[in-house]
A = this chain, B = another copy of it.
């Protein structure tokens, strides 16, 4: 079960039974737009605030994932969920009506990996046969939380990333499907001392490198053992830093590497600068793009590595650096 220093390999690997994803208007117009389950044109999803809209996305993503698997909410034993907002309010308000016993998480944009890891660990341990993992982010609520309210029309440097308006929910359990969670590599906090909150790709790249390399060591693998290694939201800048750092450790990642932040938008046309980001970015890309390829067998084994930048407006204002964290999820076709 225990693999190396930071990883777990599941002898009875849990299945990723179904998923649901909900996005906003910009994401719906992007390259993954035709693959999502639901989108909304005004990004408010019938609510009055960005925060309530984000909560509604989470709830809808869960309901869609459960609907696809014909599983009732009462049959879901535990839920693992999180978002980017202070005190995880999008999750608390979003999953409240589902009335599933829940664990609130915070791992910045790595939270989808954290939720999938914990849900898989719980299923593999026999703690339930249907568990939900859900995360979300919203451009409007995130700009308000971390930068300025949208009405301020803040200018963004080219290194900045665009927070994805979207939520992805995953039903992890014992019912057979064509994708299973074979193992996890739990990330540790990695801090290279960077302080630029408008260049989060650079802040997160060292953590992504650390987790990916640790996964190789723990499982006795290399890039050649994965069809794809897919990070959460390193974007254009973070991606090249990951390649460079991994190369220094003896691994060539470029050929096998994709980044959800670069898959979800058409960066030339959609003006999203360094790429997409947010808890919703990796979750939506996993649901809409990665899982279908794994289910069909087009990819046999993928290392999915959501990445998070651990900062708040308070830590930023107090001059703290922005450490990163990344969790690795080994997904296999079966």
- A interface, CB within 8 angstroms of B: 1-2, 6, 8, 49, 51-52, 77-78, 82, 84-89, 92-93, 95-96, 99-108, 114, 117-118, 121-122, 124-128, 144-145, 186-189, 191, 310-315, 318, 320, 323, 325
User: What's the nearest-Cβ distance from chain B to residue A320, in Å?
Assistant: 6
Q: How far is the CA of A78 from the CA of B87 in the complex (A)?
A: 23
Q: How far is the CA of A52 from the CA of B320 in the complex (A)?
A: 9
* Chain B positions within 8 Å of A85 at CB level: 312, 314
User: What's the nearest-Cβ distance from chain B to residue A324, in Å?
Assistant: 10
* Chain B positions within 8 Å of A191 at CB level: 96
Query: Given the interface contacts A102-B188, A318-B51, does A87 sit within 8 Å of B121 by beta carbon?
Result: no
Task: Give the 10 A-B residue pairs with the shortest CB-CB distance, closest first.
Answer: A125-B125, A86-B86, A101-B186, A87-B312, A92-B310, A104-B106, A88-B106, A96-B189, A86-B312, A89-B312
Q: Is the CB of B101 within 8 A of A103?
A: no
Query: Given the interface contacts A51-B318, A100-B188, A105-B103, does A87 sit within 8 Å of B310 by beta carbon?
Result: yes
Q: Is the CB of A318 within 8 A of B52?
A: yes
From B1, B99, B103, B126, contact of A186 by CB (8 A):
B103
With most chain B CB atoms within 10 A of its CB, the pick from A2, A86, A96, A323 is: A86
* Chain B positions within 8 Å of A107 at CB level: 103-104
- How many protomers of this protein does the assembly include? 2
A48 nearest CB neighbor, chain B only: B318
* Chain B positions within 8 Å of A124 at CB level: 125
Q: Is the CB of A89 within 8 A of B121?
A: no
User: What's the nearest-Cβ distance from chain B to residue A195, in Å?
Assistant: 13
* Chain B positions within 8 Å of A88 at CB level: 106, 310
Show 23 A/B contacts (Cβ-Cβ < 8 Å), sorted by A: A2-B128, A6-B77, A52-B318, A78-B186, A86-B87, A86-B313, A87-B106, A87-B311, A92-B323, A93-B310, A93-B315, A93-B320, A93-B323, A101-B188, A102-B325, A103-B114, A103-B118, A104-B310, A105-B105, A118-B118, A121-B122, A124-B125, A144-B314
Q: How far is the CA of A199 from the CA of B171 in the complex (A)?
A: 36
* Chain B positions within 8 Å of A121 at CB level: 121-122, 125, 127
* Given A86-B312, A92-B323, A100-B188, 19 further pairs, Cβ under 8 A: A51-B315, A86-B145, A87-B312, A87-B315, A88-B106, A92-B310, A93-B310, A102-B189, A103-B114, A103-B118, A103-B186, A104-B325, A105-B105, A105-B106, A106-B106, A121-B122, A124-B125, A125-B127, A144-B314
Q: How far is the CA of A125 from the CA of B92 in the complex (A)?
A: 27
Q: Is the CB of B89 within 8 A of A314?
A: yes
From B77, B89, B108, B186, contact of A315 by CB (8 A):
B89
A92 nearest CB neighbor, chain B only: B310
* Chain B positions within 8 Å of A84 at CB level: 87
Q: How far is the CA of A100 from the CA of B28 in the complex (A)?
A: 39
* Chain B positions within 8 Å of A95 at CB level: 189
Q: How far is the CA of A128 from the CA of B70 in the complex (A)?
A: 35
User: What's the nearest-Cβ distance from chain B to residue A313, in Å?
Assistant: 7
